[in-house]
Each structure stands twice: as structure tokens, then as C-alpha cells.
Amino acid sequence: MLLEIEGLTKTYRSRIRRGRDVRANDGIDLSVEAGQVFGLLGHNGAGKTTLVNQIIGLLRPDSGAIRLEGRDAIADPAFARRACSLQPQAQLPIDGLTPDQAIELIGRLRGGDRVEVRARRDRFIDELSLAEWRRTDGQRLSGGVKRLVSFAMAAVVPGSVVILDEPTNDVDPVRRRLLWQQVRGLADEGAAVLLVTHNVVEAERSVDRLAILDRGRVIAQGTPAELKSGVAEELRLELVLEPDAAAPLPAPFIQRYVPNGTRAVATIPAASAGDAVAWADALRRDGIVEEYSVAPATLEDVYIELVGRADTLSDKEAIDALAA
């Protein structure tokens, strides 16, 4: 295992009042091996970034263990920063630097040889389709391009563990695909990739294993297929409403129902597929629904189910957090 975390707990002490402490990480166990893309899912404030900052030694855990390549990372944060490369969630302020310069400098700061770093940088620039901006000042780059540059900075001389915190934010759909190929490429090269995201839909397609974090605890862990096994007998009915139509009341066979703006998502038992299609089609004829679809339940449904059960989010917030 390249990354092993056991019983990791971190509490932020309130400076104002005792008893207001926030337990950001609460007994987290997880491990990521070489060649694996591991997704860490959770809504804002679930404790994802706190976990990352402990791995790279910027925060000290209250208790628990972090081992990188079998070595105690808590005792040796300088080692942790060599072993991990990080794409942070915040946009990097690279004003004054071009993507070429930023990627090369970080690669060399991480110990890479100039010629080899340049060759690898050129490959990322090419494969992420960034060539037209490679000599543009960072100040004038769009958010999506900056995000891709930030990824290349983490990947140009990767650690044995590569941590990507929301790598696809602001990135256009075409380059998102290119980015996911590169993420997979890093794992194929032998890195353990820890992918932090709240984008469940993308994570389902891209990760080998994942953990769902909620209020600092891992509430589920496994492969996407394992996590979905609980909803194998369920279908997902999605309605797109006509612009001015109010969301229809749920039919009796609907198990969970989340209306959100012009969209409504319902979970139904597989046996009710016929009834669901008939119901939705009637709504379409009545001019309430523009279009609908019935499909197998996704990881998103599992996520809402699990996090909803933990009772931390209203459905509206859950949908907002999930909307990519």
C-alpha cells in the first residue's frame, strides 16, 4: 500500500467557546495502492481537505496513523511532501508565470531534471490541449485552463501518491475527458491517486474504489459496483419539466423524490418500471414534463441515500452539491 490511513482524527478547537469544537475527521480508515484511483467523496465541509492537509503534513492529527510507502508520515512531514504531489482545491495564483514556466519550475522543485521535466511538460501541454496558452501570463488564463495547468504541476514529477482536490472544477467537457485520461495515466504509471471530489457522476466513471465522507466519518467504502449493489433493484426516473410547470406530486410507487428547479429525480423499484413510464408519459402529454428517462440507479443515488440517511443535508443542498 502506498497510502494507509488508520483511525485518523482531527478536531478544530474553537477559540471562542469550549464545546464548540468541530471534529473534522473522525476515525478515518482508508488505503490506496499503486495503480489505483481512489475517490474521496463528500459534500462541502465533510472533512476532505482536512484529511489531505494532514497527509502532506500541513496539519497535525489528534490521533491515528498515516503511512506513505510504509513510512510514518506524521513523524516526517518533509518526507510526506516528497512522497505526495498535490493539486490543491484553491486556484493557484500563478500571475506572472506562463503555464510553461509554472509547470517546469514545480517539476524541477520536485527534483526533476530539466530536460526530462520539459519533455514531460510538453506531453501534458499537448495531451491536455493547452498549446495555445502555454506562453500566456497566468493572470490572463481562464479558470479552467488554470485548473489544468495546476494538474500538470502536480503530475509533471508525480509523488508516489498524487492527490487531486477537485481537479475538474471549471474545466470544459472536452478537456475534462482529456484530464480523466491523464488521471488514469498517472495510476497506470504506478502512482496511487487520491481523487477528492463532490462530483459523484464523474467519480463513478473514473475511480477504482471510493469512500464517502460525511461529517468527518467514512460512511461507505468500496468499488462503485459494490456501493451500488444496495440499489441494484432500483431504477432512477428523471423528469425534465416544462419551463413554467410546477413539479408534479410523486406517484405512490416512488421511493425517493427530489424536485429541483426544472428537474426532478425519483427512485423507483425495478418492478414499477412500466408504471413509471406510463405516469411520466401522461405528464408529458399534459404539458408538465418536457422529457423523461428511466435508467439503472447511479452512484449519485447511493450517495444521496447514504448522506441523506446521515441527515446532514437537505435534498436541495444535496442536489446543488452534486450538480457538476
Q: How far apart are CA 278 and CA 216, in angstroms?
A: 42
- Rounded least distance, CB 166 to other proteins, Å: 13
Of residues 9 and 312, the one with the C-beta less far from other proteins: 9
- Rounded least distance, CB 178 to other proteins, Å: 16
Of residues 49 and 199, the one with the C-beta less far from other proteins: 49
3-state secondary structure of 138: helix
- Rounded least distance, CB 125 to other proteins, Å: 10
Of residues 110 and 284, the one with the C-beta less far from other proteins: 110
CB 164, CB 183: distance < 8 Å: yes
Query: Residue 318 CA to chain centroid, in angstroms?
Result: 14
> Distance of CA 138 to CAs 98, 130, 153, 170, 174, Å?
5, 13, 13, 15, 21
- Rounded least distance, CB 123 to other proteins, Å: 4
Of residues 120 and 198, the one with the C-beta less far from other proteins: 120
Nearest to 210 by CA among 49, 24, 48: 48
Of residues 192 and 289, the one with the C-beta less far from other proteins: 192
Nearest to 89 by CA among 125, 138, 141, 53: 53
- Rounded least distance, CB 135 to other proteins, Å: 13
Interface ranges with other proteins (CB under 8 A): 56-60, 69, 71, 76-79, 81-83, 86, 88, 90-97, 101, 105-106, 108-113, 115-116, 119-123, 157-160, 185, 188-191
Q: How far apart are CA 96 and CA 313, in angstroms?
A: 41
Segment (H or E) for 244: none
Burial readout 159-188 (b: 16 or more C-beta within 10 A, e: otherwise): bbbbbbbbbbeebeeebbebbbebbbebbe
Q: How far apart are CA 220 and CA 306, in angstroms?
A: 8
- Rounded least distance, CB 136 to other proteins, Å: 14
